[in-house]
Amino acid sequence: MRKFIVQITILSILVLVAFALILSRANGYTDPFYIRFTTPKQQNLILGTSRAAQGVQPEVLKNAFNRNFNNYSFTIAHSPFGATYLESIKNKLDHDQKDGIFIITVDPWSISSTTLSPNDSLNFRELELCLSNTPKVDRDPNYTYLLRNLKGKYRELVIRKKAGLYLHNDGWLEISINMDSAIAEKRIAERVEMYRTTNLPYYQFSSLRLEYLQKTIEFLNQHGNVYLVRLPLHPDMMDIDNLLMPDFNEKIEQLAPQTKGYYDMTIFNDEFSYTDGNHLYKESGKIVTNKIAKWIKEI
């Protein structure tokens, strides 16, 4: 009996070691979020939804300011402004930083809720997702993230590469996709229609989320300078944004005096390429990021 117990124990240890080795294979191809939970605490942050995750490139900012940046943006589901995102930002920031550059990208979806009451924080959509269930955001490997958020997908760690998607160590989500004009136009039309029918009817402005955007600004002001940016998007998607919140700019401009400024880049909507109408194509993202850097320097 003792021999059997020893054998079972050894086998269990070997299985656990093998599983840990599989988990340690997670990298930038694993999913759109994991790497952001593995890098050290950061001094300069890019914040927002997936528009920022794909559209603002830390490497461009690094070249402009001679300092490292980290893109800690996620999606409208994972990182709308609220207690969850603010707490995760606090966990990611190096609190010794006093002269940081913090670029907060804003859009109507990030201050809206899908709950029946838009200020029902007990039922906010992000509460069951990775920013809420992963308190340690600087662990490599981050077993907590992998166990709680990659359930049933561990085989992908062995396959390794997910075509078209790569999350860089600096947090930029690079999307490589066919940008043939006909194909891109079809994708844009489909995404716009999805937002019109699937998102728009269920989102509504949340004054509580706007308050948390203000709290986020107040917190970051203790560690450096905050810059608000509204990124460009396809004109057809802009129409959807305006249907959701026609007075969005007025709401953001109320917060602008607490920051170094607000840069509404939607005046450039027609000048860039978009993968799906909602997200800048990477070549356009590079240009947009350079524009942001130039704007910050001129303030």
| Structural domains counted in the chain | 1
119: Cα separation from own chain's centroid = 22
Does 279 reside within a domain?
Answer: yes
Q: What angle do CA 226, 76, 109 make, to 5 degrees?
A: 75
Domain containing residue 146: 26-298
Q: How far is CA 95 from CA 43, 82, 91, 162, in A?
A: 8, 20, 9, 35
Identify whether 8 is part of a domain.
no
Classify residue 115: in a domain, yes or no. yes
Query: Is the residue at 241 inside a domain?
Result: yes
User: pTM for this one?
Assistant: 0.93
Taking a C-beta distance cutoff of 8 angstroms, is the pair 47, 70 a contact?
no
* Phi (first) and psi of residue 174, to 5 degrees: -90, 125
Q: Residue 80 maps to which CATH number? A: 3.40.50
Residue-wise pLDDT tens for the chain (299 aa)? 565 454 455 444 544 444 445 555 578 888 999 999 999 999 999 999 999 999 999 999 999 999 999 999 999 999 999 999 999 999 999 999 999 999 999 999 999 999 999 999 999 999 999 999 999 999 999 999 999 998 766 666 666 555 689 999 999 999 999 999 999 999 999 999 999 999 999 999 999 999 999 999 999 999 999 999 999 999 999 999 999 999 999 999 999 999 999 999 999 999 999 999 999 999 999 999 999 999 999 98
- Rounded Cα distance, 46 and 60, in Å: 12
Residue 251 lies in a domain: yes
Does any domain span residue 4? Answer: no
- Asked whether residue 17 is assigned to any structural domain, the reply reads no
249: Cβ–Cβ under 8 A, 6 or more apart, which residues?
A: 230, 264
Domain membership of residue 189 (yes or no) is yes
